[in-house]
Amino acid sequence: MNLFSNVWGINIFRNFYLLVSTICRIIGLVGRYSEVKDYYAELIRGIVGASEYDPYSVRAFGPEDFSHRDGWGRFSLFVGLGNRIASYMYKSLSPIFVDKPKEFISKTDLFDLADLMILEFIHARAASSGMPINFFSVQPFEVITRNGSRLILVHNGSIYKEKLASEIETRLSEEAIKKYSDSYILALKLAESIEREFDPSILAQFKDYVKTALNLGIILISDDHIVKVFGSYYRKDLPKEYQDYYRMYMVTLGSENIMYASSTLIDFVEYKPKSISQWKEIQNGTYYFVRIDLSKIKDIHVYTEKYLI
């Protein structure tokens, strides 16, 4: 019998994934503050609206999962000339559509510097069945790598938490595993895997842990450089409604400004930024890497890897 040949079979298939799916919305950027602030303000308004009512979430997970109400957070990194850096982290258990964040955070003294760069992402969470709803599981997460670099992560999708936790060198108690989401366990394992430089092939080892998707936003801060990673991977055997939900888009504005977003914010006109029309779908299995040399922030290197396809 073809699993997709009748309604009963489709419902079983959909309900299986519902049990393991983390449903979140993500936006992010890297670019010059003066050039991206107005565009990004529209994207922030989009994620607020899409988190309050997400048509893709309803289609994939059912009418009861229409919103992303289990907390939200943002991380902003400001980089100026002379290796001047400032960062801002905010997390809340309130829904993003209740808090309604400002378009950009308060200005710092770095805004007075020429060529200021901003790297940021925002994550709105809806916890999947069996995952904790608490402040400890609100993203972004920050962990420390082996060599002392800071790693900040946001994740949309689900992984096999217990399996991954059992392979972390620092053994976690059962209480800790229950307290934190699968995305935090993912951050811990990534921190163990990353050396001084971010080797793109590192992400390939996580493919076998993926239940639904590995949509990521990562910022790695080292002494003399910063790497930002973003991209999308979802299992090819997911129903179409799930693939629609996990799809991500990106846009490049000029030579240095990049934004990316979850599908709901681009596919539905009521959430899509009106001033940006060049969005393109991120091919499944593709991750983008942006490297910033802190000694010369005018030199930004962008490259892609497609090893998960």
**Phi, psi angles (nearest 5°) of residue 71:** 105, 160
Could you tell me the two tokens for 52? 């309050």
How far does Cα 258 stand from its chain's mean position? 14
Q: Residue 307 has which token pair?
A: 């090893």
pLDDT in tens, 176-187: 888 889 999 999
pLDDT tens per residue across span 78-114 = 988 777 888 999 999 999 999 988 777 766 666 666 6
Q: Is 162 in contact with 177 (CB distance < 8 Å)?
A: yes
Residues 204, 307: contact at Cβ < 8 Å? yes
**Tell me: the pLDDT tens digits for 203-218?**
999 999 999 999 999 9
Strand partners, 92: 72
Of the options 3.40.50.150, 3.60.20.10, 2.30.110.10, 1.10.30.50, the CATH number for the domain spanning 7-305: 3.60.20.10
CA-CA distances (angstroms) from residue 166 to 170, 185, 207?
A: 9, 10, 16
pLDDT tens track for 229-283: 999 999 999 999 999 999 999 999 987 899 999 999 999 999 999 999 899 999 9
Contact 231, 237 (CB under 8 A): no
Q: What is the pTM of this model?
A: 0.89
* Opening angle at CA 285, ends 242 and 138, nearest 5: 60
Tell which residue, 285, 147, 152, 143, has the closest CA to residue 220: 152
pLDDT of residue 265: 97
Q: Phi and psi at residue 269, in whole multiples of 5°?
A: -60, -30
Torsion region of 213: left, alpha or beta (phi above 0 gives left; psi -120 to 50 gives alpha): beta
**How is the chain split into domains, by residue range?**
7-305
